[in-house]
Amino acid sequence: MDVTAYVRALGEKARSASRAMARTATDDKNRALFGVAEALDAARAALASANDEDLARGRDKGLEPALLDRLELTPARIDNMIEGLHQVAALPDPVGEITDMNYRPSGIQVGRMRVPLGVVGIIYESRPNVTVEAASLCLKSGNATILRGGSEAAASNQAIAACIQRGLRRSGVDEHAVQVVETTDRAVVDALVTMAEYVDVIVPRGGKGLIERISRQARVPVIKHLDGNCHVYIDDQADADKALAIAVNAKTQRYGVCNAMETLLIAESRVAELMPELAGVFVGAGVELRACERTLAAVKAAGFDCKPATEEDWYAEYLGPVLAIRAVSGLSEAIEHINRYGSQHTDAIVTENYSQARRFVREVDSSSVMVNASTRFADGFEYGLGAEIGISTDKIHARGPVGLHGLTSQKYIVLGEGHVRQ
Amino acid sequence: MDVTAYVRALGEKARSASRAMARTATDDKNRALFGVAEALDAARAALASANDEDLARGRDKGLEPALLDRLELTPARIDNMIEGLHQVAALPDPVGEITDMNYRPSGIQVGRMRVPLGVVGIIYESRPNVTVEAASLCLKSGNATILRGGSEAAASNQAIAACIQRGLRRSGVDEHAVQVVETTDRAVVDALVTMAEYVDVIVPRGGKGLIERISRQARVPVIKHLDGNCHVYIDDQADADKALAIAVNAKTQRYGVCNAMETLLIAESRVAELMPELAGVFVGAGVELRACERTLAAVKAAGFDCKPATEEDWYAEYLGPVLAIRAVSGLSEAIEHINRYGSQHTDAIVTENYSQARRFVREVDSSSVMVNASTRFADGFEYGLGAEIGISTDKIHARGPVGLHGLTSQKYIVLGEGHVRQ
């Protein structure tokens, strides 16, 4: 198989479908979303058997239990995919929104209209439900999309793709608006991320290795989501109860997620008072602590186990039950630490002081900056975007959770009555 | 000289200055802009002698007159630079603007705050006044910038750089907020566009060759401005006077600019009526016409010279007194032609028909889409951006004229009272 020719053909069809999608009415896009939902519901048996095939192959290959779990399409997960399609249909259509329309001194009216990006390439790993999530967001935002899932989920993805095609055809939307790559050849990715004439943006969803590899290769813009090295800073004027609740929630509510806290910063004036209780809760939850000299002494004095932290710990995204802890002299040192070691993902301050909160919000250079709230809130659903295609750690185009708006751009529109430039 | 080490050092200083710039008050940034203006005014003699040096070197090297003209810093151009600094100081500060702040069902408040991009690298060619324009926009938007001008303007750029440094120092703004590269070694560009840890975005300003080369090399996002292959479509329901005024202005008001019309599309029903007069005005202005079969006959019948257009003409950006002309059956064919051959820069329809106008605006996929107005209006000043760092033909981040907002991003801010995620 000539992979380059195959991907080019996908690209050509996607480009042409993207023109049609850009002018597709909201109603028709919603009808397509409902159509896909119905097709999924009607294909539960086929989905289950395709998924069984993937799971059996995965077990034979000795995939880890966590990976097998992500691969599984349980009836509840199929329900979730259907529910997700209904939710995206219920979201307002971002395309065509006109803003900032003003008369200029020359007499022309100038404003901006929200438009689709065009063709979005999505490259993801094992979870087959991403196929539906990504397709639905791209459809609603008027883009054509090329989806390239992981080889472990190949059969499941093709079964889902068949449902998507059925839904599109039934609703009269261009069936090439969503194309699922049929081969698991890795050369597809190389072709997709370098085909600037047919692909407007690449959204990789997966581990850091995948995203770094794609970013290096790409000749097409990439909306990327790298590390989530998130901090909670307990200020010298923090409310003790809020500090405890937020620090514990940010670390222990879920471990393997990008918006979990990885380093706890604490004003040195509060170490003696707060560290014993904090350490007790963390150790009780099975969290391994790695602390700076000042906090280490306080944790050990309270009778809990703790390792000394090294420079590498400040950079680490553990994605697990490990926490780095560091005492800082105050707000300035906290901000400096975050901007230096952090990954510009999500960082929070706990404080009752108005000026400290205001400064933290202004000066911390992260995609989400929080006051008295858990970093775990950094999420498209929690922010009211309805759904998210990913969380961007880039500064260009979109920062933080990326929803429908992140899959669009704005063009200028100018209205005149025969106006010419002098 | 170790160019990589030199550029790294610039990058480190810029990164550190960008942190300071992000928290610099509007007043201080404006004071810096006025300070630079004063320093330029006080250094007119030094600027003139540095510029003479560049001009003499340019003449020795046999530079074209047009290039020598762009290189020249006349007293009027120095006035313009000073005036431009005052204008940028008068613009509202985009940094810190908070929008879309809403309470969510969880009780947290979520909104977005506009923030600088960080470090902006600008790579430009012969015009030394770009040094001041680019520096002023980056300063006002709270970014640090590294400026790399053309070797022809080396002495002028260093003289301007000295004024900028003086202005920054006098106003107490971090003097590394604006750094002008001191060597003309081309390896500087290679280092600058690949140094993702120190540079957040590259804005190339110059010819298509420069921009394509940079885009190919870059490992940093590029806001690029490629071709301006702009169209005016005279619809079958166009007002004849408006059609004539707009077509003539779009082509002949200035030739070497990206927003000039390169292809005129005309509904075939209007060819016999409008082509003779249009051809007369164009030929009278010295414009060479290259027409499709149908319009060629009409132009020749009216007694004017005309060549047959080839397929390449539909793709061409002439940047000069040449115009391609094509008759189309109507709106659909016009939109198809523009989306196929155009460069997604600026395209206009002339029509009195409401539905045709509405369809053109929705379906033409260009950064500026106009109704009954000349393409020459596509410009940051005309759009009310105050100034522009360039015109983007990208879809990601910024489309069309890029002003202060295009040099910023938005981060999410979340305010709670001890909220944790359930």
Per-position DSSP letters for A237-286, written without gaps between them: T--HHHHHHHHHHHHHS-SSSTTSEEEEEEEGGGHHHHHHHHHHHHHHTT
Shortest CA distance to A334 belongs to which of A415, A244, A264, A409?
Answer: A264
Which residue among A113, A371, A420 sits closest to B246, beta carbon to beta carbon? A420
Q: How confident is the model at residue A12 (pLDDT cuts 50, 70, 90)?
A: very high
> Is B26 buried (19+), middle (13-18) or exposed (0-12) by CB count in 10 A?
middle
| Alpha-carbon span B323 to B279, nearest angstrom | 10
The residue in chain A having the minimum alpha-carbon distance to the alpha carbon of residue B361 is A413
B118: left (phi over 0), alpha (psi -120 to 50) or beta: left
Chain A residues touching residue B395 (CB < 8 angstroms) = 117-118, 200-201, 409
CB A105 within 8 A of CB A406: no
List the strands of the sheet with A288-291, edge to edge.
Answer: A307-308, A288-291, A322-328, A261-267, A230-234, A346-350, A368-373, B408-419, B109-116, B98-103
Looking at residue A66, its pLDDT comes to 85
Beta strands B119-124 and B144-148: pairing type? parallel
Read off the tokens for B310. Answer: 């080839």
Q: A249 pairs with which residues across the strands?
A: none
Looking at residue B240, its pLDDT comes to 98
First vs last C-alpha separation in chain A: 58
Please give chain B's pLDDT, 422 residues, in tens.
899 999 999 999 999 999 999 999 999 999 999 999 999 999 999 999 999 999 999 999 999 998 899 899 999 999 999 999 999 999 999 999 999 999 999 999 999 999 999 999 999 987 899 999 999 999 999 999 999 999 999 999 999 999 999 999 999 999 999 999 998 888 999 999 999 999 999 999 888 888 989 988 898 899 988 889 999 999 999 999 999 999 999 999 999 899 999 999 999 999 999 999 999 999 999 999 999 999 999 999 999 999 999 999 999 999 999 999 999 999 999 999 999 999 999 999 999 999 999 999 999 999 999 999 999 999 999 999 988 898 898 888 999 999 999 999 999 999 999 999 99
Looking at residue A37, its pLDDT comes to 98
Which residue among A250, A373, A396 sits closest to B397, beta carbon to beta carbon? A396
| Alpha-carbon span B29 to B136, nearest angstrom | 9
> Mind telling me how many Å the CA of A246 is from chain B's nearest CA?
6
Chain B residues touching residue A416 (CB < 8 angstroms) = 370-374, 377
B382 and A102 within 8 Å at the Cβ level: the answer is: no
Which residue among B22, B384, B421 sits closest to A110, beta carbon to beta carbon? B384
B397: left (phi over 0), alpha (psi -120 to 50) or beta: left
> Mind telling me how many Å the CA of B183 is from chain A's nearest CA?
28
CB B220 within 8 A of CB B199: yes
Residue A126 has pLDDT above 80, yes or no: no
Domains of chain B (ranges; CATH) run 3-223+398-415 (3.40.605.10), 230-382 (3.40.309.10)
Read off the tokens for B377. Answer: 């209006």
Looking at residue A393, its pLDDT comes to 86
The residue in chain B having the minimum alpha-carbon distance to the alpha carbon of residue A117 is B395
Shortest CA distance to A376 belongs to which of A284, A275, A245, A279?
Answer: A245
How many CB pairs (< 8 A) connect A and B? Answer: 221
| Alpha-carbon span B129 to B141, nearest angstrom | 19
| Alpha-carbon span B91 to B86, nearest angstrom | 9
> Mind telling me how many Å the CA of B66 is from chain A's nearest CA?
23
| Alpha-carbon span A117 to B252, nearest angstrom | 33
Mutate: best of A414, A417, A422, partner B, most B CBs <10 A: A414
> Mind telling me how many Å the CA of B118 is from chain A's nearest CA?
9
A117 and B395 within 8 Å at the Cβ level: the answer is: yes
DSSP H stretches of helix in B265-384: 271-284, 293-301, 311-315, 331-341, 354-363
> Mind telling me how many Å the CA of A20 is from chain B's nearest CA?
9
| Alpha-carbon span A298 to B383, nearest angstrom | 60
For the CA atoms of B250, B253, B256, B260, the dihedral, rounded to the nearest 10 degrees, stands at -10
Which residue among B104, B118, B361 sits closest to A413, beta carbon to beta carbon? B361
A368 and B417 within 8 Å at the Cβ level: the answer is: no
Place of tokens 């307002």: A92
> Mind telling me how many Å the CA of B247 is from chain A's nearest CA?
9
CB A342 within 8 A of CB A259: no
Looking at residue A241, its pLDDT comes to 98
| Alpha-carbon span B251 to B286, nearest angstrom | 11
Which residue among A372, A377, A395 sits closest to B418, beta carbon to beta carbon? A372
Max distance between CA atoms of chain B, in angstroms, equals 81
Q: How many helices (H) and strands (E) does chain B have?
A: 15, 16
Chain B residues touching residue A339 (CB < 8 angstroms) = 19
A365 and B118 within 8 Å at the Cβ level: the answer is: yes
> Mind telling me how many Å the CA of B62 is from chain A's nearest CA?
34
Mutate: best of A12, A226, A419, partner B, most B CBs <10 A: A419
CB A20 within 8 A of CB A84: no
Looking at residue A198, its pLDDT comes to 95
Read off the tokens for B86. Answer: 């005052």
Chain B residues touching residue A384 (CB < 8 angstroms) = 102, 104, 110
Chain B residues touching residue A369 (CB < 8 angstroms) = 113, 411-414
| Alpha-carbon span B293 to B278, nearest angstrom | 16
Which residue among B249, B369, B414 sits closest to A421, beta carbon to beta carbon? B249
Looking at residue B228, its pLDDT comes to 92
Shortest CA distance to A310 belongs to which of A325, A288, A328, A330?
Answer: A325
DSSP H stretches of helix in A342-400: 354-363
Count other C-beta atoms under 10 Å from residue A257's C-beta.
Answer: 14
Looking at residue B209, its pLDDT comes to 87
Q: What percent of chain A has pLDDT over 90?
A: 88
Q: Tell me what ipTM this predicted complex has.
A: 0.93
Q: What share of chain A is helix, strand, coil (3-state, %, to 5)?
A: 45, 20, 30
> Mind telling me how many Å the CA of B37 is from chain A's nearest CA?
27
